[in-house]
Structure 1
Amino acid sequence: MTLPYPPPLLRVLLADDHGIVREGLKMVMHQASELIGSVDEAATGEQVLALLAAHGADVLVLDLGMPGVAGSGWVRALRERHPALHIMVLTANTDERSRLAILEAGADEYLAKTGSSRELMAAIERLQNGHDKQPARAQSTHTPAPAETLTRREQQVLALAAQGATAAQIGQALHISPLTARKHRENLMRKLALHSTAELVAYAVRLGLPSA
C-alpha cells in the first residue's frame, strides 16, 4: 500500500504591529501544529505587501488595526493581487458589520482576539484541508453593532478624532465646548470598548472614515 505524501508545510505571514503578539502567535503555531513551516513577521501594511512580493505566503494572519491597513478596501485589493493567499483576520473588533464587510472583501476567516489559540489553529487546518471559508452572512437575529449605538454627535466626534483633532478642535468644529467634546469622546470610546487614541483611529478606519 502506497502512503500519500504529507502535505507541504505552510508558509505563514504574521501581520500585527505588536511584537509581543507576533511572538506569542509564532510560539503557539509551532507548538500546536506540524503543518507550520516558515513564519515571517510584518508590523505594517507596507511590510505585508513587500514580504508577499518577495517571498509569498500560504496564510496571512492579519490584524486590521495596524498602520497602513485601511479596512475592507485594503483587504479587497490584497485579494485581487494574491488570489491564492489564505487571508485570516485576527482582530479585537467583533461587530457584525465589520465582519461581514471584511469577509465580503475576500478574507477567508474573521477571528476575534478574545478567542482561544485552538480556534486559530482549527481555522488554519480548515484552510489547509481545503474546507470552505467562513460564510459572509448575517446572523438570523440582528444584534446592533457598537457603531450603530452612537448618537449623531458621537459619530461626528469619532470622524474628527480619527483625523487627529483635539477636544478643543472638535469643539470648535462642532460649535460645542471642549469639555462637551471630551465627554462625547469618552462616551463613544466606552460604547465601542476602545481604550486609546490608536484604537479609536483604527476603529474609524475599519468603518471607512478618513484618518490623519
Structure 2
Amino acid sequence: MNRWTALIVEDHPIVRQGLRTLLELQGIQVVAETGDGLEALRLLEQHQPHMLVLDLSLQGLSGLEVLRQARRRWRTLRTLVLSMHDDDAYVVEALRSGAMAYVLKGSPTEELVRALEALCQGRRYLSVPLSERLLDPSEGAAAPQDPYETLTERERQVLHLTAEGYTSREIAERLFISPRTVEKHRENLMNKLDLHSQAELIHYAVQRGLVQPRRN
C-alpha cells in the first residue's frame, strides 16, 4: 500500500487525527482532510486521491451525496465509509451510492486495517456485525425511479444546505451563484420531489439521511 493516497472526510478533528495516524502507519499518504461535504468535492478535484475515507454525517453536503457525486466524477476512487449508523437502510444506500467498504465507528482498529487492505485489493468489506447479504444490495426486483435521482447536482446541493438552515444568500455565497439562482433551484427541486414547504423539505432531508435531526 506504499503508493496509495487518501482524503479523510470526517467532522470530528480528533477522529480525523486518529485516522490520519492509522492510515500513515499502513503506508497510505493522507493528502488532505476536511469535515465539510462541499469542501470534500473540491479536495477530491484538487488532489485526485486513490482512496476516500468518509463519514456520512457532514456539514455542507451529506456523506451519501459526496459518495454519489464522487462515483460519477472519479470512477476509480475507492471509498471506505466510517459511520455510527448500523441500520440496513444506511448501509444499503451507501453501497448503492458507491462505497466499497462500510465500517462501524467503535469497531476494533484491526477491522479498519482489514477494510483498508480490502480496498487496496479491489474487494468490498463490511463490519462484522453487518449482514453479509448487504454486500450485493442490487439483487432483487427493480425499484421504481427515485425522484431524488432526477435532481441535478446543483439542486441537491441547494436541498442539503437549505435543510441545514442556510438562507438563500448564504447558500449563494457558498456555491458562488446568485440568491435568485438559489431560489430557482429550490423551486425546481421542490417541484420534482413534490414538496410544498420548508418543513416538508427538512423532513424529507432527515428521512433520506441527508442531514441529521435537530436536537433541542
Report if TM-score (shorter chain) is over 0.5.
Answer: yes
Aligned equivalent of 2:30: 38
Match of 2:101 in 1: 109
Query: How big is the shift at 1:56?
Result: 0.9
Name 2:61's counterpart in structure 1. 69
> Which TM-score applies when normalising by structure 2?
0.58
Task: Tell me which residue corresponds to 2:18.
Answer: 24
1:48 and 1:74, CA in 2 relative to 1: closer, same or farther beyond 3 A? closer
Summarize the alignment of residues 59-208 of structure 1 with structure 2, pairs less than 5 Å apart: 59-70=51-62, 72-132=64-124, 135-137=135-137, 204=206, 206-207=208-209
> How far does the alpha carbon of each residue in 1:65-94 deviate from its partner, in whole angstroms, 9 at most, with x for none?
011233544422221111110111101111
Aligned match of 1:9: 3
Gaps of 5+ in 1: 1-6, 139-161, 165-200
Aligned equivalents of 1:70, 1:205: Cα separation in 2: 13
Q: How many residues align?
A: 144
2-side partners of 1:107 and 1:133: how far apart? 9
- AA matched with 2:136: A
Structure 2 counterpart of 1:16, one-letter code: E
C-alpha RMSD over aligned residues: 2.9
| Residues 20, 30 of structure 2: 8 Å contact kept | no
Q: Give the fraction of aligned pairs with identical amino acids, expressed as a percent.
A: 31
Deviation of 1:132 after TM superposition, in Å, equals: 4.2
Output one character per residue of 1:43-73: Cα deviation in whole Å (capped at 9) or x when no partner.
2011111111111111100011011233544
Q: Is the 8 A contact 1:46 1:68 kept in 2?
A: yes
Aligned ranges for residues 44-59 of structure 1 at < 5 Å?
44-59=36-51
Tell me the secondary structure at the aligned position of residue 102 of structure 2: strand
The structure having more radius of gyration, on CA atoms, is 1
Checking the alignment, whether the CA contact within 8 Å between 2:206 and 2:213 is kept in structure 1 is yes
Equivalent residues of 2:5, 2:51 under 8 A apart: yes
Unmatched 5+ residue regions in structure 2? 127-134, 139-162, 166-202
Output the CA distance in 2 between the equivalents of 1:120 and 1:20.
17
Shift of 1:17: 1.1
Taking a change above 3 Å as real, the CA distance of residues 205 and 44 of structure 1, as seen in their structure-2 partners, is farther
How far does the alpha carbon of each residue in 1:131-162 deviate from its partner, in whole angstroms, 9 at most, with x for none? 34552349xxxxxxxxxxxxxxxxxxxxxxx7
Give per-residue Cα distances to partners, 1:112-134, cap 9 Å, x unaligned.
Answer: 10211211111111111233455
CA distance in 2, matches of 1:47, 1:57: 14
Report if aligned partners of 1:98, 1:206 keep a CA contact under 8 Å in 2.
Answer: no
* Contact kept in structure 2, 1:63 and 1:91, CA below 8 Å: yes
Give per-residue Cα distances to partners, 1:98-119, cap 9 Å, x unaligned.
1011101111111110211211
Q: Sort the Cα spacing of 1:209 and 1:117 in 2 relative to 1 into closer, same or farther, 3 A.
A: closer
Q: Label 1:57 to 1:206 Cα distance change in 2 as closer, same or farther (>3 A).
A: farther
